[in-house]
Structure 1
Amino acid sequence: MKLAMKRLNRILSYLFDDIKNLSYEDRDLPMRWSVMHMYSTSQLGVLVALKKGLNPELLGIIAALHDIGSIKTKRRENHAKNASKYVYEIIELYNSTLRGNLPVINESEINIIHEAIINHSDKDIKSEDPYIEAMKDIDSLDRYLHGIETKGDHLTHLNNMLDLFELRELE
């Protein structure tokens, strides 16, 4: 048994290489946090997708790219909306160069990825799009798993994940 994750892995490899060339100075969030969060959310995305019946590779790609706006601009403020151009650039680079003989990321997938990323910070707004809601939930769960205090709308999304996996907080 094997999951189709080659596109996700190719994108993660590119992101890790690209991040090495970025400045680590004057950032709202430490680069090490961004890298840990990028990797762990991509893995959580695969698990959540399997549990929810979504495309695991697609949700993994969304999760890997969801904070690219913060990584590229160095700022947290408006990072979801600011991710838009970087998402398109990275997917275009993947489709034109990085993919080799792997399948393209098609227009439908691009739209799903883009919408989930630019809307993932709107934790207080309920979406009918399962990928948007899944990314909000994954983001909140990952912060919690890294020991960040969870409150407000993040708590709502964390509870969605705890319910999905039939878990309860251990504290």
Structure 2
Amino acid sequence: MSLVNHIKKIFGAKQPRLPKVMHCVEMLLVNMQQSGDSAVRERDLDWEFEHIRLCVKYAKMLAANRKIDPDIAACAVALQNIGRIITGKSENHAEAGYEPTKRILTGLGCFTPQEIEMIATSVRRHSRKERVDTPLDELAKDVDIYARYCQGHEFTRQHDIARLTKIRQELHMGGM
């Protein structure tokens, strides 16, 4: 039984979509960990899981404020590093995540074609922090920056610092 069919069987068609997406990501992380390839990865798989958890948390907080569907936003950020999880590499991980995201969401059978494209495009664009794209893309970029900040990353690029300052103000935490 494929992973996606296993998820459908566990959750059924009526369940909220984020738990289905998170279960797929968690199963992928577990499979990667069990395969023993984590030694050649740029990011530890535990770091990846914590990053995803933080991104989902902040996406839910910001989505309603920005008039973005919180379910779509949370699903998009849950999948935004799927390319790095699969390849183990940060370089081009956003682009590498586009097709796997489409396959996962299509397989789950609970997203429209438009939602699948919107989420997959957000995954593809989330590393282009210097550009301004759709509201969903911008939310994904912002929570990625903020989650990395929460995980101890120090930013040096001006556009990253500007994003971090903006999101801290939006979350009522003050500037840098």
> Is this a same-fold pair by TM over 0.5?
yes
- Tell me, in whole angstroms, the C-alpha distance in 2 between the residues paired with 1:77 and 1:112: 22
Q: Any residues of structure 2 matched to 1:122-133 within 5 Å, and which?
A: 122-127=128-133, 129-133=134-138
Percent identity of equivalent pairs: 22
Q: Does 1:26 align with 2:32?
A: no
Runs of 4+, deviation exceeding 2 Å: none
Question: What is the root-mean-square deviation of aligned Cα atoms in Å?
Answer: 1.7
Q: Which runs of 5+ in 1 are unaligned?
A: 96-103
TM-score (ref. length: structure 2): 0.84
TM-score (ref. length: structure 1): 0.86
Q: Does 1:75 align with 2:81?
A: no
Q: Which runs of 5+ in 2 are unaligned?
A: 1-14
- Tell me, in whole angstroms, the C-alpha distance in 1 between the residues paired with 2:76 and 2:170: 19
- Tell me, in whole angstroms, the C-alpha distance in 1 between the residues paired with 2:131 and 2:175: 24
- Tell me, in whole angstroms, the C-alpha distance in 1 between the residues paired with 2:78 and 2:116: 14
Kindly tell me the number of residue pairs found equivalent between the two proteins: 158
Three-state SS of the structure 2 residue aligned to 1:25 is helix
Matched with 1:16 is 26
Q: Does 1:139 align with 2:149?
A: no
CA displacement, residues 61-92 of structure 1 (integer Å, 9 cap, x when unaligned): 00100000000011000000111111012112
- Tell me, in whole angstroms, the C-alpha distance in 2 between the residues paired with 1:6 and 1:43: 16
- Tell me, in whole angstroms, the C-alpha distance in 2 between the residues paired with 1:6 and 1:92: 15
Q: Any residues of structure 2 matched to 1:83-98 within 5 Å, and which?
A: 83-95=97-109
Three-state SS of the structure 1 residue aligned to 2:89 is coil
Three-state SS of the structure 2 residue aligned to 1:21 is helix
- Tell me, in whole angstroms, the C-alpha distance in 2 between the residues paired with 1:38 and 1:6: 18
1:169 deviates by: 4.7
- Tell me, in whole angstroms, the C-alpha distance in 2 between the residues paired with 1:12 and 1:79: 19
Contact 2:72 2:119 in 1 (8 A): yes
The residue identity in structure 2 corresponding to 1:68 is I
1:18 deviates by: 2.0
